[in-house]
Structure 1
């Protein structure tokens, strides 16, 4: 779910959108920059040269102090935003795994609907009080966005299903397959050619995914099937979003579509589609009989997962604004390493030396892929 939420909820930002021909470069920050109104010129009385030198020294010291404060402020914001992004993205997938596995909650679609409802409520409230700006949801915009939203819902649902059956570390490694599908799609759809370093990293990802699946002591065919479907849907979302965004901007009142509008649009449209899927997968009967819905702690954990999903959107946009697409991409890849370790330790996943080596190999391949994309982007 980390990549999924990262891609989707931030208008993607998703690990996967930064793979899609500069979509991340379109991301704008929701934060307002603080403007320092400081006067650097003042009237100096006519006097001795010593006075002028002293005033000049004080002015230089003042400017030096201002520059120092600015550096500290920017550095702290970059560090804080990166930390917030890493914590929220790791926590999101761990909390979802806890709800689906530890609580043995068999209604992943309902969990998705509740999380998206929390996001809609929070974004609507923030927009109502003027803290953020969102585009009004017109019928023209909904018609344009609905096809990509169907892919979005399918991506979230399959991610929930796979996470229930597969351990966190293997989900993280298998998500690398999304990068391979996306790279091939970019080549055929956008005539984008990747250098040898990118293809080498993608080949290592495939090897790690195959070896990881073979050595997985808790292998589950159903979970792996859902995860492979999720990889194709996630790649499809990344490849489709770019074209849909260009068309959607033309039907908005402002001629633009910021990330908060995409979060609101995606999550709002997902609610009726999710309700339909609830009936298709017969989750309604399960919800009417499960005792989990009578536990206050269960509702607390579910609500927390909803806020974490939205926190990924805010923190990722903040972090991306403070640093850039290259740093964001690399940190996203490095973030999978502690996530995988935490998933194995917290959920007591049975593993072997071969499986651990495959997981580590896949995570390192992800880092190499991010660095290769950074180099490719800088050369282009």
Structure 2
């Protein structure tokens, strides 16, 4: 059992690392900045693979009633906001900066639990949330590659992540499992992003993309779709097999490795102040759940 948990944890870390690096390569190096198409492609591949896994008996998808689907619809809309804004932000920000800002979602969740649900919150968790907020707030003043648009989309991203998790928690207990929820997210995202690709201009602008016929672009896009699915699947397995503390440890490990390698692989300039505050991503206040696979 211990060996199985280690294997799942290592698989999760590998998928987390590979998914972030691949997405960053497509978005920042190849500069494929057409999020409705890129995220639509990823969710399409994820949906097809999840459906195939269900047919092969590798995953269980329960039949959902119309009321369950309609109840989950706002969460699916937030999921689209998460992946769209996340794609925009990641294309402009360094991965350590993006991860630090992403974790501000935990501050939103903590504040909601404390102020609206009146739940007891430990002083350690409050201090962790305040540290995350301070780290994110100081980053723009120490970021030598400061991009206002990147930070703007990062703010939308972490607000959507926070709202998604709050909504997800408020609907429990529910007949929808994590796999069911992700399946509905995939279906809704594919339809929504396909319809949005023309009004946003992505559908026509992509014809001018210089690497459209290059094999490295095709390979990277295919890899991003498959890696996104494997990350989602390994996240679900991680949550089902391990205690919250163990999940948090593996998440911490995945983030540290991803942030460190991204600095070596991409053109990233981090000042001493940025490095200091970016360590806030290691203090993720996410001890109870793994990160969403679609946060990428």
Instruction: With the length of structure 2 as denominator, give the TM-score of the two structures.
Output: 0.91
Aligned to 1:259: 178
> What SS does structure 2 have at the residue aligned with 1:294?
coil
**Structure 1 residues 126 and 370: CA distance shift in structure 2, 3 A:** closer
Q: How far does residue 137 in structure 1 lie from its aligned partner after superposition?
A: 5.5
Residue 209 of structure 2 corresponds to residue 290 of structure 1: yes
Residue 163 of structure 2 corresponds to residue 236 of structure 1: yes
User: If you compute each CA radius of gyration, which structure gives the higher value, 1 or 2?
Assistant: 1
Aligned to 2:149: 222
Aligned to 2:115: 188
Aligned to 1:83: 10
Gaps of 5+ in 1: 1-73, 250-255, 375-380
**Structure 1 residues 174 and 317: CA distance shift in structure 2, 3 A:** same
C-alpha root-mean-square deviation of aligned residues, in Å? 2.0
Would the aligned equivalents of 2:255 and 2:282 in 1 still touch at CA under 8 Å?
no
Aligned to 2:221: 302
Residue 193 of structure 2 corresponds to residue 274 of structure 1: yes
Q: How far does residue 285 in structure 1 lie from its aligned partner after superposition?
A: 1.1
Would the aligned equivalents of 1:109 and 1:157 in 2 still touch at CA under 8 Å?
yes
User: In 2, distance between residues paired with 1:326 and 1:317?
Assistant: 15
Gaps of 5+ in 2: 290-296
User: In 2, distance between residues paired with 1:186 and 1:277?
Assistant: 34
User: In 1, distance between residues paired with 2:25 and 2:135?
Assistant: 26
User: In 2, distance between residues paired with 1:197 and 1:102?
Assistant: 40
Would the aligned equivalents of 2:105 and 2:162 in 1 still touch at CA under 8 Å?
yes
Would the aligned equivalents of 1:148 and 1:244 in 2 still touch at CA under 8 Å?
no
> What SS does structure 2 have at the residue aligned with 1:165?
coil
**Structure 1 residues 296 and 140: CA distance shift in structure 2, 3 A:** farther
**Structure 1 residues 98 and 212: CA distance shift in structure 2, 3 A:** same
Aligned to 1:354: 273
User: In 1, distance between residues paired with 2:103 and 2:60?
Assistant: 34
Q: How far does residue 190 in structure 1 lie from its aligned partner after superposition?
A: 2.2
Residue 93 of structure 2 corresponds to residue 174 of structure 1: no
Aligned to 2:92: 165
Q: How far does residue 319 in structure 1 lie from its aligned partner after superposition?
A: 2.2
Q: How far does residue 184 in structure 1 lie from its aligned partner after superposition?
A: 0.6
Paired residues in the alignment total 289
Would the aligned equivalents of 1:100 and 1:108 in 2 still touch at CA under 8 Å?
no
What do the CA deviations read for 1:117-137 (whole angstroms, capped 9, x no partner)?
A: 111111111222233221236
User: In 2, distance between residues paired with 1:333 and 1:150?
Assistant: 28
Counterpart selection for 2:33 from 88, 98, 106: 106
> What SS does structure 2 have at the residue aligned with 1:155?
helix
User: In 2, distance between residues paired with 1:164 and 1:99?
Assistant: 8
User: In 1, distance between residues paired with 2:108 and 2:139?
Assistant: 19
> What SS does structure 2 have at the residue aligned with 1:130?
coil
Would the aligned equivalents of 1:137 and 1:265 in 2 still touch at CA under 8 Å?
no
**Structure 1 residues 364 and 304: CA distance shift in structure 2, 3 A:** closer
Q: How do 1:1-380 residues align onto structure 2 when only pairs under 5 Å count?
A: 74-136=1-63, 139-246=66-173, 249=174, 256-360=175-279, 362-366=280-284, 369=285
Residue range with higher mean Cα deviation, 231-240 or 337-346:
337-346
